[in-house]
Amino acid sequence: MSITPKPFALAVPDQEIADLRDRLRLTRFPDQAPGEPWAYGTDLGWMRDLVAYWRDGFDWRAQEARLNAFPQFTAPLSGIDVHFLHVPGKGDKPLPLLLSHGWPGSVFEFLDIIPRLTDPARFGGDPADAFTVVAPSLPGFGLSFKPGQARFGAEEIADCFAELMTGVLGYDRFGAQGGDWGSFISSRLAYAHPEHVAGIHLNLMPLPRDPAAFADPNAEEKRYFEEMAVFMKEETGYQSIQGTRPQTLAYGLTDSPAGLAAWIAEKFRIWSDCGGDVESVFTKDELLANIGLYWFTGAIGSSFWPYYSRMHRPWPIPPGGTVDVPMGYCEFPREILRPPRSLAERTYKDIRRWSVMDHGGHFAAMEHPDELAHEVREFFRPLRAG
């Protein structure tokens, strides 16, 4: 039976916005631990300022309007209603491109890059490089969540998105791009559904994080393993709790908007190329649009599920498995991990483009939409004809 997507527009009820402001007004703040600001997590002074702005200055309706300026739809897939943006390209033969976000992101990450992909001529590019962009909310995230629905790992999300692209939208051949969980999803799509995937472009390299999996490392690989050891010690506490006790953490972050904001905003600071000043890269409005989507949908608990799945299953590309479709990669200097190409080549057997950028971080589509859009266009240009 064919599935007809339903048009969608976001409209949070007024009473939910009023409830949020009441909760923000009653925020109970912790004290500030001794030492440098941000040394032990989100800084108290910065959080007081963010909460005050969220309560008294932030315009959620303006952010809704930004999202609603793009054509959006929902479709029943894999037992849930999947939300997605579907933006036609402006060119003779736009290539369908699936954009997959990650955690703690959302489709708000893509609002600046989508026009650069769908209408490159508007930004000084070639109309022949246009894409038709499909940008779903990951199942369990934001507008692809309802209480009580099934939980999805990267493998199920990839299968769901393959059905969205081929069975619902009728794109038998498409490209995929993503960072964070989007890189896992794009890679799994290419592994499990290679007949439909023209190529994948990643801005995070999703390789196993066990040095024992890579025998006889060279000097560059040893450097990477040393960096990874620091990351695993200092920066993965959120993964451990989200991947082992997601339900317990969900109570606090679903009930407290300040807690939710502190949990998410810290990642935007530490993972971006901001030099310690998160607002030098992201405005409060950009941060709160993304945080607000988690708040109003109540989806923070279900968004943890890919972490639980990852910690309790084998790696999404099984041992000995390879991704054989063309792959492009864009390494940003403040990405959380930056594996060398020699390690990536063990899994990705057809690397066509490997770009090392001189600035930028984990949230590349928000931080540097022009540069990332350029890399995506350059990678897919020779793959368009099939």
**Which residues are known catalytic residues?**
180, 307, 362
Rounded to the nearest angstrom, the gap between the alpha carbon of residue 30 and the centroid of all alpha carbons in its chain is 30
Give which of 195, 184, 196 is closest to 155, Cα–Cα: 184
Categorise residue 180: left if φ over 0, alpha if ψ from -120 to 50, beta otherwise: left
Residue with tokens 């009653």: 26
- CB-based contact 355:329 (threshold 8 Å): yes
d(CA 338, CA 81): 35
In degrees and rounded to multiples of 5, residue 65 shows phi and psi of -65, -35
d(CA 134, CA 372): 17
In degrees and rounded to multiples of 5, residue 286 shows phi and psi of -65, -45
Alpha helices in the chain (DSSP H): 14-25, 44-56, 60-68, 113-118, 154-163, 181-192, 219-234, 237-244, 246-255, 257-270, 284-297, 300-303, 305-312, 341-344, 364-367, 369-380
d(CA 294, CA 121): 34
In order of 21, 100, 186, 191, 308, the CA distances from 323 in angstroms are 47, 18, 10, 5, 24
